[in-house]
């Protein structure tokens, strides 16, 4: 009986000690979560405004004939690049060549009449001095010479006009650019002249360089005017401010250009004013009529604080970042955002350079909770080996010392 009682007491004592050990383990608080913190980056930045616009050619020409006639041949391929002076279209020359030959013949006849009138007048000058002819006859021969001279001048003008009409049968490119498709096929009658009822044959637009037109509101216009004092005068009609542009399928502003014109009036209907920039286009990818987005400097250069964009949280309409104080406790700071610079975001208000902003482990960083901050620039801590297992450095050391002994 004594032996049984002693065993029972030992078992009860062991169970009591185990319960106390488990209670102590359960009462131990978990370690604070580890988060990565970093100070805001200080950098000189410029704010930019973005607008949507479309490309327009610097020069656009409608190819129309100056003379009427039947279209003889087309010397270009639809959509090709043509150089200034290239032959594009030929109109049947035969009627115009005939008109030129006739004008030249009439000019020869007029010159012959003038030569006869001049000789007749010279003879009349001697005869009038000898009183052989009357003054009236002399005046008639003088008038005949003047009429012959006028006839020669008129026929010379007719020859020049016929020569021009013959030259106008060859339509050449007035500018270098890309030509559209032909609007009339050979064999059709082309109506020419200087009136409004002429036949459109093709269009040519320049593509390098190319212009980009956009509009901005009155408030932005006033802000740009005040920026003129800092040397960034966007509203200067002569332009010169550097701008960048991206197409609809591009993620960054890759195309660089400059402002070259701002309109002189604000549209009363929309309250906007038209601006224009010019871009180089050696590859021809920028096409007139194409939409794009342009970025214009909206402020002078200033020093700003930037944090990673992923560190910014949202609370309804407000933005905030999580910071860790000197006691390693997390707090929220509401901030006012600025421009995006790559993966960083400008913070206009709400942060100081000394703040430690949580950049990784945001889910663990709850407001009012104590954390274990790890500086982003510091090397990550090495995990401690399990009990009873030596670290890699400790394991290598005896092997090295043993090799020396050998």
CA distance 25 to 19: 10
Highest mean pLDDT among 13-27, 273-287, 330-344: 273-287
Please report the pLDDT score of residue 255 as a whole number.
Answer: 93
Q: At which residue do the structure tokens 């096409």 appear?
A: 287
- Return left, alpha or beta for 342; rule: phi > 0 is left, psi -120 to 50 is alpha, else beta: left
> 379-406 burial string, b = 16+ CB within 10 Å, else e?
eeeeeeeeeeeeeeeeeeeeeeeeeeee
Q: How does the average pLDDT of the chain come out, rounded? A: 84
Cα–Cα distance list, 179 to 148, 175, 176, 244, 290 (Å)? 49, 10, 9, 28, 17
| Segment 100-114, tens digit of pLDDT | 999 999 999 999 999
DSSP letter (8 states) at residue 79:
T
pLDDT tens, position by position, 219-256? 999 988 888 776 666 666 655 788 999 999 998 899 99
pTM of structure:
0.68
Of the ranges 127-141, 205-219, 287-301, 346-360, which one carries the lowest mean pLDDT score? 127-141
pLDDT-based confidence at residue 389 (cuts at 50, 70, 90) = very low
**Secondary structure element (H or E) that encloses residue 100, with its range:** helix 94-129
CATH numbers and ranges of domains, the chain: 34-43+302-375 (2.40.420.20), 49-58+209-297 (2.40.30.170), 93-168 (1.10.287.470)
pLDDT in tens, 67-112: 999 999 999 999 999 999 999 999 999 999 999 999 999 999 999 9
Whether residue 17 has pLDDT greater than 80: no
CB 188 within 8 A of CB 42: no
Average pLDDT over residues 254-280: 92
For the record, the structure tokens of 289 come out as 């009529």
Compute the distance between CA of residue 272 and CA of residue 293 in angstroms, rounded to an integer.
17
Alpha helix stretches (DSSP H) within 130-232: 135-167, 218-227
Separation between Cα atoms, residue 357 and residue 352, nearest integer Å:
10
């Amino acid at each position: 009986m004594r032996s049984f009682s002693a065993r029972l007491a030992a078992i009860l004592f062991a169970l009591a000690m185990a319960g106390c050990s488990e209670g102590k383990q359960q009462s131990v608080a978990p370690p604070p979560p580890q988060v990565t913190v970093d100070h805001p980056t200080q950098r000189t930045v410029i704010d930019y405004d973005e607008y949507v616009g479309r490309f327009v050619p610097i020069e656009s020409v409608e190819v129309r004939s100056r003379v009427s006639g039947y279209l003889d041949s087309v010397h270009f391929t639809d959509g090709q690049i043509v150089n200034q002076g290239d032959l594009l279209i030929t109109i049947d020359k035969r009627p115009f060549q005939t008109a030129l030959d006739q004008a030249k013949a009439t000019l020869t006849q007029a010159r012959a009449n003038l030569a006869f009138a001049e000789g007749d007048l010279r003879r009349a000058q001697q005869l009038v001095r000898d009183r052989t002819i009357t003054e009236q006859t002399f005046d008639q021969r003088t008038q005949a010479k003047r009429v012959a001279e006028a006839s020669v001048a008129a026929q010379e003008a007719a020859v020049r006009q016929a020569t021009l009409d013959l030259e106008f049968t060859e339509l050449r490119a007035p500018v270098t650019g890309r030509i559209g498709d032909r609007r009339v096929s050979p064999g059709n009658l082309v109506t020419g002249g200087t009136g409004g009822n002429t036949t459109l044959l093709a269009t040519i637009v320049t593509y390098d360089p190319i212009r980009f037109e956009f509009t901005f509101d009155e408030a932005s216009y006033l802000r740009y005017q005040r920026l003129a004092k800092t040397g960034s005068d966007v509203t200067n009609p002569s332009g010169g401010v550097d701008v960048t542009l991206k197409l609809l399928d591009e993620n960054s502003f890759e195309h660089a250009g400059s402002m070259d014109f701002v309109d002189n009036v604000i549209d009363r209907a929309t309250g906007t004013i038209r601006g224009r920039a010019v871009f180089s286009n050696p590859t021809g990818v920028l096409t007139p009529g194409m939409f794009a987005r342009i970025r214009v400097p909206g402020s002078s250069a200033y020093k700003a604080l930037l944090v990673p964009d992923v560190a910014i949280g949202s609370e309804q309409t407000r933005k905030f970042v999580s910071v860790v104080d000197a006691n390693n406790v997390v707090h929220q700071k509401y901030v006012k955002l600025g421009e995006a610079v790559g993966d960083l975001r400008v913070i206009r208000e709400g942060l100081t350079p000394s703040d430690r902003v949580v950049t990784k482990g945001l889910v663990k960083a709850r407001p009012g909770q104590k954390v274990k901050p790890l500086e982003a620039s510091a090397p990550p801590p090495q995990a401690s080996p399990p009990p009873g297992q030596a670290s890699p450095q400790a394991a290598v050391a005896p092997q090295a010392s043993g090799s020396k002994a050998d």
